[in-house]
Amino acid sequence: MFNLAKTAILMAAITALFIAVGGMLGGRDGLILALLFAFGMNFFSYWYSDAMVLKMTGAQQVDARSAPQFYAVIEELAAKANLPMPKVYLIHEDAPNAFATGRNPEHAAVAATTGILGILSHRELRGVMAHELAHVKHRDILISTIAATMAGAIAALANMAMFMGSRDAEGRPSNPIASIAVAILAPIAASLIQMTISRAREYEADRGGAEISQDPEALASALDKIHRYASGIPFNAVERHPETAQMMILNPLSASGISQLFSTHPPTEERVARLMSMARDGAYPREG
């Protein structure tokens, strides 16, 4: 219920951003068009955003015949977590990463890059995919998937502000500085919305993944390894669609200085430390 409320708040906040940008671009008419567009995007995001994200990342569905070892890991962990078997996807990218998507556990999908399969041990891979299944179990996947598609739409709308200019309530040309401000601030606002949702859910998915796999040390080791490898390997699909970065187990886009303030993921070192503390304490009851 709590995550459903967060989803509603997210959709309302991004709808408000659409309306504000639409009003700046086209006055009263722009506001009405933006409102209609926002409702259309909300409907589309709820039902089809998972397919859009999978397409953006170039994910290809696999099964027990085409990827037997990887598929078996998901099958085992889904059973442990009392979850329906999700659809399984591979992304042919060298960058090590993984994510989950879908509107609910009955319509979920998990995806991993071929790069992550190449660098992780079987035990570490279990830890990573248990993390992704924790997102499914906690129903985070709808929130993150909607955030990714809507943030991309806001960025496109903001870019229009740079070329079309702003208009007042009567539709007359207005201050061009306002258009520039909208073009800059709207994507930042969308990023802040994603950030406030994503950081907390990553800690919770780490904890939930450790409980599903019963192996927090394996996930800690995997996160450390992904962090070290990913810094030197570009994730081309995410570079083309940066709005999908917040869905990944680790943000594949480089961030330094003030840009770290807008990171959708908590520091890897802190995540590893929390997981190692769980491993030492042995306090990770299996998720039921």
Helices 68-80 and 122-137: angle between axes, nearest 10 degrees = 50
Domains of the chain: 49-167+175-281 (3.30.2010.10)
Handedness of CA 21, 262, 229, 272 (dihedral sign): negative
Residues 81-138: tens digit of each pLDDT: 999 999 999 999 999 999 999 989 999 999 999 999 999 999 999 999 999 999 999 9
Tell me the pLDDT band of 154, cut-offs 50, 70 and 90.
low
Residues 239-269: tens digit of each pLDDT: 998 878 888 999 887 654 334 444 568 899 9
Please tell me the least confidently modeled range out of 5-19, 80-94, 212-226: 5-19
Distance CA 183, CA 275 (A): 40
Q: Where are the beta strands (DSSP E) in 74-227?
A: 87-91, 98-102, 108-113
Residue 155: the pLDDT is 64
- Give the predicted TM-score (pTM) of the model: 0.77
Write the single-letter amino acid at 207: R
Residue 177: the pLDDT is 57
- The three-state secondary structure class of 263 is coil
DSSP per-residue string spanning 62-110: E-TTTSHHHHHHHHHHHHHTT-PPPEEEEE--SS--EEEEESSGGGEEE
Catalytically active residues are 132
